[in-house]
């Protein structure tokens, strides 16, 4: 491995930091949109570790996996945002503590 | 030469009868039930006769093996459903099916008014099935099926009138006492498996045959022999496990005749004879058998003297006669034992059926003190029972004489002590049997006259004078009487012994000098039998006031005998009470309630308390779940890091 590369552990630390930020945001935030963004943050944290490992081991599988995750995340964002809009229209709030019933 | 005999049909026939009557009998008429029962038991008798005929006319060589299906295969050990027929099982087959068929016929008359008529015949056929399995088995394990099965049938039939408390507990007693014996039998089987790797008769005996007799006291074969004898003691009512048989008289009389006199109780004798190869190589075990047999013969006979219940007398007589059979086995004279088994089946079956006919005649009364003078009321019963009494007493030329004399002669060759006790027993036997005869049939009728007494027993039907039984009951009596008269003749000139020689080995050549001794002993035993007759005549016919005076003179000893030497009470104090108390106090109150119950309850309480705390995790709040997941994964990661860094 050439010394000019950034070491793997840096990537992993960043990835873990991003993931932890996502977890904390998911746990303490009330707004659905913020929670949603925290989830995206976690996904991207994981993605980062995937590509880091893929580059480190020269294996393509990790990069392929990242594409899958991105596709799923995009689909999730589309569906999730639609649901959030629907929720806001019916309940006029985005506070998760007040959205605790599936059916009104 | 040996085309298939289809031996398997023999046990299956009565099983079919039992199933049909058991499942459909409740809705069928009595005629239908008796037709089915008689058809199947008759068919099996016919088949047994056919097999015997084929053997007689030499179109069949014995021993004959029939393999049906494999049952247990475990490593090198195997036990199969397979049947085995040799001269010994042929004799047993004929006795069981023949006497069994006659008693089926008799039962049609005897049980006619019983509300559970179908149940009786279903059980009786079931008994035949198990007994035939026992007799025809080719290994100890199949024999054990039959062995346990006849115990079950016996239990069901003793407790046939289960609404009567005494009958129900007599059934339980028989079952439990038999289990003690079966325990010994089972351990013997385990020893056989462990040391010979098989339970198949042929294989076991082939591996034992080359072994030398265990003369130096104890050894493996001695242990196996004694344990087998423990099993035989349970089934065949020998000391110390004989106590169940007298109580078994609570069952219907045909059951007493078939199971508790003629067939099932002889299973122990059959088993010991079947295992003769083992016993012959274990002299100590053989001595144990002889001592138990001799003691039982004597002991039970003395109890028989003082009994007043007609069936109890016969029950103790059965125990005593079984003792004779074991005495013969113990003396190494297995064929003499089997010979006595056969003749005993005839005359004791007849005696019980006759007793049933008497009980029937006097409306359910079993106390001989309330009988008397019945010979003019029931002449046929009297005649046949008289023949049976002569036979069991050993008056020549009736059946019992030949077999009993053979046993005494062979016992004498082993030790004169056996012979002497056997002789005294023969005297007592003759005495109590003629006592029974005189008390029942002679003198004046002492029973309740003409008043409608419906309270005694089950088959009481309000009637006045004692009356003769119907033909369906008398014909079996007559056939058995003929067999009791002539059945012993097959033993003349050791013919029976020669017949069984292929099983038990060749007949020993009796040295010529002892022929005179044999005749002398024969004379002595006949004289002793006549003496017993004379004494009974004196005490119970010509001077009937004497017995009471003798009883008074003997006082405490007489009371002891009347109470059967208090054996039941001693057993109750020694075994039953400690067992029940121990179970109640230690097993129930301490082990069960304090340890097991507490442990279970505490486990339950603990689980509830823990889950009471744990259920707060499940709040329904998604973010708290997420927190738990995060915390959990943190723990997992920490653990993995810790594991990795070690």
Helices (H), B442-545: 471-486, 495-504, 514-537
Q: Which residue of B has its CA nearest to A32?
A: B623
Give the pLDDT score at B63.
Answer: 85
At B194, list the tokens. 């462990």
> Looking at CA atoms only, how far is residue A36 from chain B in angstroms?
13
Pick from B53-67, B150-164, B271-285: least confident: B53-67
Inter-chain CB pairs, A–B, below 8 Å: 12
pLDDT above 70 (res B217): no
Count of beta carbons in the 10 Å neighbourhood of residue B493: 9
Q: What is the arithmetic mean of pLDDT over B437-455?
A: 69
Q: What is the arithmetic mean of pLDDT over B231-237?
A: 92
At B124, list the tokens. 């009786």
Pick from B283-297, B451-465, B596-610: least confident: B451-465
Give the pLDDT score at B367.
Answer: 87
Pairwise CB contact (< 8 Å): B626 & A27? yes
Is the CB of A21 inside 8 Å of chain B's CB atoms? Answer: no
Is the CB of A99 inside 8 Å of chain B's CB atoms? Answer: no
> Looking at CA atoms only, how far is residue A69 from chain B in angstroms?
21
Give the pLDDT score at B567.
Answer: 85
Pairwise CB contact (< 8 Å): B621 & A27? no
The residue among A16, A22, A27, A42 with the most chain B CBs within 10 A of its CB, best to mutate, is: A27
Is the CB of B620 inside 8 Å of chain A's CB atoms? Answer: yes
Q: Which residue of A has its CA nearest to B631?
A: A23
Is the CB of A101 inside 8 Å of chain B's CB atoms? Answer: no
Is the CB of B626 inside 8 Å of chain A's CB atoms? Answer: yes
Q: Which residues, in sequence order, are CB contacts of B474 under 8 Å at separation 6+?
A: B357, B380, B381, B384, B468
Q: What is the arithmetic mean of pLDDT over B82-97?
A: 92
Domains of chain A in start order, with CATH, are 8-98 (1.10.287.3510)
Q: What is the arithmetic mean of pLDDT over B431-451?
A: 80
Query: Could you report the per-residue pLDDT of A16-27, keeping only the tens digit for each?
Result: 999 999 999 988
Pick from B21-30, B258-267, B441-450, B623-632: least confident: B441-450
Is the CB of B631 inside 8 Å of chain A's CB atoms? Answer: no
Give the pLDDT score at B453.
Answer: 42
Q: What is the ipTM of this complex?
A: 0.73
> Looking at CA atoms only, how far is residue A27 from chain B in angstroms?
6
Give A27's contacts in chain B (Cβ within 8 Å): 623, 626-627, 630
Pairwise CB contact (< 8 Å): A26 & B626? yes
Choose among B526, B522, B516, B514: nearest CA to B492.
Answer: B522
Q: What is the arithmetic mean of pLDDT over B219-230?
A: 90
Q: Checking DSSP bridges between strand B64-74 and strand B77-85, what pairing results, if any?
A: antiparallel
Query: Could you report the per-residue pLDDT of B564-579, keeping only the tens digit for each?
Result: 888 888 888 888 888 8
Q: What is the arithmetic mean of pLDDT over B172-187?
A: 92
CA–CA gap between residue B270 and residue B315 (Å, rounded): 19
Give the pLDDT score at B462.
Answer: 46
Helices (H), B307-444: 310-330, 334-361, 379-393, 399-414, 416-441
Query: Could you report the per-residue pLDDT of B183-216, keeping only the tens digit for each?
Result: 999 999 999 998 888 898 988 888 888 887 776 6
Q: Which residues, in sequence order, are CB contacts of B516 under 8 Å at separation 6+?
A: none
Give the pLDDT score at B470.
Answer: 87
Is the CB of B616 inside 8 Å of chain A's CB atoms? Answer: no
Query: What does pTM read for this prediction?
Result: 0.79
Q: Which residues, in sequence order, are CB contacts of B638 under 8 Å at separation 6+?
A: none
Query: Could you report the per-residue pLDDT of B355-400, keeping only the tens digit for each?
Result: 999 988 888 888 888 888 888 888 899 999 999 999 999 888 888 8
Pairwise CB contact (< 8 Å): A96 & B627? no
Residue B457 sits at φ, ψ, to 5 deg, of: 60, -170
Give the pLDDT score at B458.
Answer: 43
**B450 DSSP assignment:** S
In which region does residue B161 sit, left (phi positive, over 0), alpha (psi from -120 to 50) or beta (all else)?
A: beta
Tokens 């125990």 found at: B319
Residue B209 CB burial class (10 angstroms; 0-12, 13-18, ≥19): exposed
Is residue B459 very low, low, confident or very high in pLDDT (cuts 50, 70, 90)? very low
pLDDT above 70 (res A74): yes
Give A23's contacts in chain B (Cβ within 8 Å): 626, 630
Give the pLDDT score at B215.
Answer: 66
Query: Could you report the per-residue pLDDT of B495-526, keeping only the tens digit for each?
Result: 888 888 888 876 555 555 577 788 888 889 89
Q: Which residue of A has its CA nearest to B628?
A: A27
Give the pLDDT score at B2.
Answer: 58
Pairwise CB contact (< 8 Å): A96 & B623? yes
Is the CB of A26 inside 8 Å of chain B's CB atoms? Answer: yes
Is the CB of B527 inside 8 Å of chain A's CB atoms? Answer: no
CA–CA gap between residue B523 and residue B517 (Å, rounded): 10
Task: Note whether B5 and B67 are within 8 A (CB).
Answer: no
pLDDT above 70 (res B24): yes
Q: Which residue of A has its CA nearest to B623?
A: A27
pLDDT above 90 (res B600): yes
Is the CB of A46 inside 8 Å of chain B's CB atoms? Answer: no
Q: Which residue of B has its CA nearest to A27?
A: B623
Give the pLDDT score at B598.
Answer: 93
Output the CA–CA distances (angstroms, integers) from residue B636 to A23, A34, B510, B642, in the order listed: 16, 27, 91, 10
At B547, list the tokens. 């017995």
Q: What is the arithmetic mean of pLDDT over B269-288?
A: 90
Residue B63 CB burial class (10 angstroms; 0-12, 13-18, ≥19): middle
Tell me what the pLDDT averaged over chain B comes to.
Answer: 87
Give the pLDDT score at B448.
Answer: 65
> Looking at CA atoms only, how far is residue B608 from chain A in angstroms?
29
> Looking at CA atoms only, how far is residue A79 from chain B in angstroms?
19
Q: What is the arithmetic mean of pLDDT over A27-31?
A: 88
Is residue B455 very low, low, confident or very high in pLDDT (cuts 50, 70, 90)? very low
Is the CB of A65 inside 8 Å of chain B's CB atoms? Answer: no
Give the pLDDT score at B457.
Answer: 43
């Amino acid at each position: 491995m050439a010394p000019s590369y950034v070491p793997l552990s840096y990537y992993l630390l960043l990835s873990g930091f991003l993931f932890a930020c996502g977890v904390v945001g998911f746990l303490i935030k009330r707004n659905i949109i913020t929670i949603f963004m925290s989830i995206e943050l976690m996904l991207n944290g994981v993605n980062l570790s995937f590509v880091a490992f893929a580059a480190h081991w020269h294996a393509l599988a990790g990069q392929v996996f990242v594409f899958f995750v991105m596709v799923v995340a995009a689909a999730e964002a589309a569906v999730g945002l639609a649901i959030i809009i629907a929720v806001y229209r019916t309940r006029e709030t985005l506070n998760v503590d007040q959205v605790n019933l599936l059916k009104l | 030469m040996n085309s298939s005999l289809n031996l398997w049909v023999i046990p299956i026939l009565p099983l079919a009868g039992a199933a049909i009557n058991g499942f459909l009998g409740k809705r069928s008429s009595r005629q239908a039930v008796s037709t089915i029962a008689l058809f199947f038991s008759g068919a099996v008798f016919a088949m047994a006769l056919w097999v015997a005929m084929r053997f007689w006319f030499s179109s069949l060589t014995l021993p004959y093996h029939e393999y049906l299906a494999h049952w247990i295969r475990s490593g090198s050990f195997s036990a199969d459903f397979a049947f085995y027929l040799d001269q010994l099982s042929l004799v047993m087959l004929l006795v069981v099916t023949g006497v069994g068929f006659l008693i089926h016929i008799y039962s049609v008359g005897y049980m006619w008014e019983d509300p559970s008529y179908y149940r009786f015949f279903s059980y009786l056929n079931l008994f035949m099935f198990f007994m035939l399995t026992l007799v025809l088995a080719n290994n100890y394990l199949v024999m054990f099926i039959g062995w346990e099965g006849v115990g079950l049938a016996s239990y069901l039939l003793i407790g046939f009138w289960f609404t009567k408390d005494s009958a129900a507990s007599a059934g339980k007693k028989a079952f439990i006492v038999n289990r003690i014996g079966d325990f010994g039998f089972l351990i013997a089987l385990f020893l056989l498996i462990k040391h010979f790797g098989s339970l198949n008769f042929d294989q076991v005996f082939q591996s034992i045959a080359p072994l030398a007799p265990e003369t130096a006291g104890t050894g493996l074969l001695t242990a196996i022999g004694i344990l087998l004898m423990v099993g035989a003691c349970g089934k065949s009512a020998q000391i110390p496990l004989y106590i169940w048989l007298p109580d078994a008289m609570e069952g219907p009389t045909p059951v007493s005749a078939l199971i508790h006199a003629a067939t099932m109780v002889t299973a122990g004798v059959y088993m010991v004879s079947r295992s003769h190869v083992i016993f012959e190589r274990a002299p100590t075990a053989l001595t144990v058998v002889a001592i138990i047999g001799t003691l039982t013969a004597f002991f039970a006979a003395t109890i028989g003297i003082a009994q007043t219940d007609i069936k109890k007398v016969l029950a103790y007589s059965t125990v005593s006669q079984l003792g004779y059979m074991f005495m013969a086995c113990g003396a190494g004279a297995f064929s003499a034992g089997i010979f006595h088994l056969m003749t005993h089946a005839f005359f004791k079956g007849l005696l019980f059926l006759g007793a049933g006919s008497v009980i029937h005649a006097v409306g359910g009364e079993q106390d001989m003190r309330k009988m008397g003078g019945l010979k003019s009321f029931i002449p046929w019963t009297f005649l046949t029972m008289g023949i049976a009494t002569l036979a069991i007493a050993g008056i020549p030329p009736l059946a019992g004489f030949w077999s009993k004399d053979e046993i005494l002669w062979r016992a004498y060759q082993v030790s004169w002590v056996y012979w002497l006790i056997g002789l005294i027993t023969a005297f007592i036997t003759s005495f109590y049997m003629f006592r029974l005869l005189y008390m029942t049939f002679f003198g004046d009728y002492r029973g309740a006259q003409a008043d409608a007494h419906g309270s005694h027993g089950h088959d009481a039907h309000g009637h006045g004078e004692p009356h003769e039984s119907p033909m369906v009951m008398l014909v079996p009596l007559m056939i058995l009487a003929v067999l009791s008269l002539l059945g012993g003749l097959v033993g003349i000139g050791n013919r029976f012994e020669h017949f069984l020689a292929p099983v038990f080995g060749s007949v020993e050549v009796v040295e010529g000098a002892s022929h005179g001794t044999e005749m002398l002993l024969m004379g002595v035993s006949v004289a002793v039998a006549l003496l017993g007759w004379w004494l009974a005549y004196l005490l119970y016919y010509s001077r009937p006031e004497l017995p009471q005076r003798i009883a008074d003179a003997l006082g405490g000893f007489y009371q002891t005998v009347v109470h059967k030497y208090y054996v039941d009470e001693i057993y109750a104090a020694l075994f039953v009470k400690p067992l029940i108390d121990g179970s109640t106090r230690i097993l129930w109150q301490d082990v069960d309630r304090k340890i097991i119950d507490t442990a279970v309850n505490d486990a339950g309480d603990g689980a509830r308390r823990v889950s009471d705390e744990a259920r707060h995790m499940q709040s329904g709040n998604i973010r708290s779940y997420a927190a738990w997941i995060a915390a959990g994964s943190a723990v997992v990661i920490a653990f993995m890091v810790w594991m990795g860094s070690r």
